[in-house]
Structure 1
Amino acid sequence: MLTGKQKRFLRAQAHHLTPIFQVGKGGVNDNMIAQIKEALEARELIKVSILQNNLDDKHEVANALAEGAEAELVQLIGHTVVLYKESRENKTIELP
């Protein structure tokens, strides 16, 4: 579980990132979650964009992504989700 200070730090780190995944009308599936897990292992911090044609509630999509990838939900702003998971091999982010 992240503290408020850690989330604020991660939000600042994620500000310049561009979304590398998009959730469309197909919703969240196992293949997407597997790819997100791999990306989190490589990068630790990623953004995921929820497209307008996705009819699911954005909060449910964000929670499904976080639970499926076993990651922390840092932020949901607009239709952009920020996820963090500490990497085992490629640790680059030092939390305060």
Structure 2
Amino acid sequence: MQLSNKQKNFLKAQAHPLKPVVLLGNNGLTEGVIAEIEIALDHHELIKVKVLGEDREERQAICDAIVRETGCLLVQIIGKTAVLFMNKPDGVITLPKA
């Protein structure tokens, strides 16, 4: 599923007041971190993940790996914080029409 610009803007507005629920540290992306992200996405649908590290390409690669492993959608990356969304049919968040 791809998000339209209208849907991304809607999700960005929804995510603005949120605090990061998962922090990736020096150990990087482990199976435990992936499991925590999946649990958070299942419970909240829309989460922020803080990815530490100074290299922008490395942070982007980690976010791409999270999307690949969990099946979620990357809404945006701002600095070291990624906004992730998991569309659920019975979820609380209803996306606007594309």
TM-score normalised per structure 2: 0.88
Q: Which runs of 5+ in 1 are unaligned?
A: none
TM-score normalised per structure 1: 0.89
Q: In the alignment, does 2:94 pair up with 1:94? A: yes
Partner of 1:75: 76
Are the aligned partners of 1:21 and 1:49 in contact in 2 as well (CA < 8 Å)? yes
1:25 CA drift (Å): 1.2
- Give 2:49's aligned amino acid: V
| Structure 1 residues 88 and 35: CA distance shift in structure 2, 3 A | farther
Alpha-carbon distance between aligned partners in 2 of 1:76 and 1:92, rounded to the nearest angstrom: 23
Moved over 3 A (4+): 52-56
| Structure 1 residues 75 and 55: CA distance shift in structure 2, 3 A | closer
1:13 CA drift (Å): 0.3
1:64 CA drift (Å): 1.1
- Give 1:92's aligned amino acid: V
CA RMSD of superposed structures (Å): 1.9
Q: Deviations over 1:48-68 (max 9, x none)?
A: 001247897111011111111
Alpha-carbon distance between aligned partners in 2 of 1:9 and 1:57, rounded to the nearest angstrom: 27
Equivalences, count: 95
